[in-house]
Amino acid sequence: IGKNIVALQEVDSTNEEAKRQAQCGAPDGSVFLAERQTGGKGRLGRTWESPAGTGIWFSVLLRPSLVPSEISSITLLAGIAVCRGIRSVTGCAAKLKWPNDVVIGSRKVCGILTEMAAEIERVEYVVLGIGINANTEAFPAKLAEKATSLRIEAGSAFPRAAILRAVLKELESLLLNAKAGSAFQEILDEYKFLCVSLNRRVGFFWNGEQQTGMAVDVSPSGELIVERDGGGRISINAGEVVVQG
Ligand code: BTN
């Protein structure tokens, strides 16, 4: 990963750039990095604020030999890689809010947007889009309650390149392990260990209504298993899950 790094001053979205380059044959493991995004994208159709100078906005193009249903495992893996990378460089106790918001305490320090191009049987490519708030000194009032940066948490600024390198290194080693197959249970265990949504009361949207329950497990394909207050165990595979209390 990262043998081919494309660093841009400005782009609409590094995920969009990665997808364009994927169509033109960019190799597995290519990384697209931008100082600033003019149309940064978040999950669930949201926008992602991507100003110049303080963030690490990048996308990794992967061409894995997987079927579409196996892709969620890559999403879990990406979250673990970011947590490990952040911990190793900054010492901050980064954790995961399901599915893969990286949080420190209760505030989000990094978001991950996974996109893929696939036919029914075959994945053509996966784009892992990762946005890390590295050296932001302060957030606007409406974000300050929910967002944080490595600098705010650790009290000092970090070289962005060191964090990027650490995350890419962890991602590469996790992907190699996952390929070996045998390590998948360990990866899932690490994910569960890092996941702050587990064994917590959660709110979520289900069957067209807002509901609550207890998050009890994460399935091998990355779904959050919830015991609903209304009764019954369900698997949630997308959308917003709010940790309560
Ligand atoms: C989220 O938490 O909603 C996901 C945010 C993902 C943001 C990153 S920044 C780099 C890449 N390019 C994008 O347009 N989005 C992702």
Full pLDDT tens readout for the chain, 245 residues: 988 999 999 999 999 999 999 999 999 999 999 999 999 999 999 999 999 999 999 999 999 988 777 787 888 999 999 999 999 999 999 999 999 999 999 999 999 999 999 887 888 999 999 999 999 999 999 899 999 999 999 999 999 999 999 999 999 999 988 877 667 888 999 999 999 999 999 999 998 899 999 999 999 889 999 999 989 999 998 888 999 86
Q: Which amino acid is at 133?
A: N
Residue 28 sits in the same domain as residue 123: yes
Structure tokens at 14: 């590094």
Residue 175 belongs to domain spanning: 5-194
Binding-site residues for biotin, please?
13-15, 37, 108
Residue 104 sits in the same domain as residue 31: yes
pTM of the model: 0.95
Please count the structural domains in the chain: 2
Is the distance from the beta carbon of residue 79 to the nearest atom of ligand 1 less than 6 Å?
no
Q: How far is the CA of 42 from the centre of ligand 1 (A)?
A: 5
Q: Looking at the predicted complex, does its ipTM rise above 0.90?
A: yes
Question: The domain spanning residue 171 has which CATH number?
Answer: 3.30.930.10
Number of neighbours of residue 163 by Cβ within 10 angstroms: 22
Question: The domain spanning residue 210 has which CATH number?
Answer: 2.30.30.100
Phi, psi of 235 (to 5 degrees): -110, 125
Is the distance from the beta carbon of residue 133 to the nearest atom of ligand 1 less than 6 Å?
no
Is the distance from the beta carbon of residue 14 to the nearest atom of ligand 1 less than 6 Å?
yes
